[in-house]
Amino acid sequence: MGKSQKQSRRELVEKMQRDQARGDKVRTRMIIAACMVVGLAIIAYPAIKLIQDSQTRNQSITDLGVKASEASCDAVIDDKASGTQDHQPDGTMIPYPVSPPSSGPHYATWAPLSKKFYADSDRPPVPNLVHNLEHGYTILWYNEKTMNDKDQVALVEKISKAKLPDSANTKFIAAPFKASDGGAWPKDKNIAFSHWSGNAQGQTTAFGHRQFCGSVSGEALKNFMDKYPALDAQEPNGG
């Protein structure tokens, strides 16, 4: 092989090596750029969520969901209450006579006071939530149809983070209610409010209150909480 042929082959090899090096640099830069984009997204998402939550906290619940007149809400049902300070051991099966419960025996432990929204994955047992009712909480229960609608669940969660009326005294929880938790709800009703009143209005008998609605309505919820305020409870202190 002549010298010129060897030189040509060496030049070709060197060119291929240079092209390979350039290609490696381009790929490296692309990988770094992609990692930076992903990293920025990971950092930005919590920041955006915090900003959104901050904005929601200053928003009235009446601005969320449909108007009360459009929520297909039934009249409030008054249930004769029972179970005041009737604490049962955790794990005890408690058959509530109405669905969702508005009073009754319950577990000694409350659901965490700082948590306003529950998904199916983290909701405590119903008897824990009934204990919250005893202390003046209003609970918004949403059924399985709502649970399967991401937009509706997001709306319920947003209501739980929004500005509650003064009558609620911050005592509010939104939680799912499955068919296995109790009896069937009225047809086409996907949302229910419940509250356990005391004797604050001169009543000789305490009552639980329930209202069923077809759609999520912050205005309907406010109307219910104004009618049955947190201080009208079996044990209004605490929480």
59-82, pLDDT tens digit by residue?
A: 999 999 999 999 999 999 999 999
Cα separation of 18 and 28, whole Å? 15
Rounded percentage of the chain residues whose pLDDT exceeds 70: 77
Distance CA 209, CA 77 (A): 6
200: CB partners within 8 A, 6+ apart: 231, 232, 233, 236
Instruction: Report whether 100 contacts 210 (CB < 8 A).
Output: yes
224 compared with 29, residue with greater pLDDT: 224
Domain locations in the chain as residue ranges: 61-227
DSSP letter, residue 188: T
Residue range 163-198, pLDDT digits in tens: 999 999 999 999 999 999 999 999 999 999 999 998
Distance CA 90, CA 85 (A): 14
**35-49 average pLDDT score:** 58
Question: In this structure, how many other beta carbons lie within 10 angstroms of the beta carbon of residue 133?
Answer: 29
Tell me the average pLDDT across 213-236.
95
C-alpha–C-alpha distance, residues 3 and 86, integer Å = 102
Q: Does 227 score more than 60 pLDDT?
A: yes
The whole model's pTM is what?
0.77
Q: Is the pLDDT of residue 20 over 90?
A: no
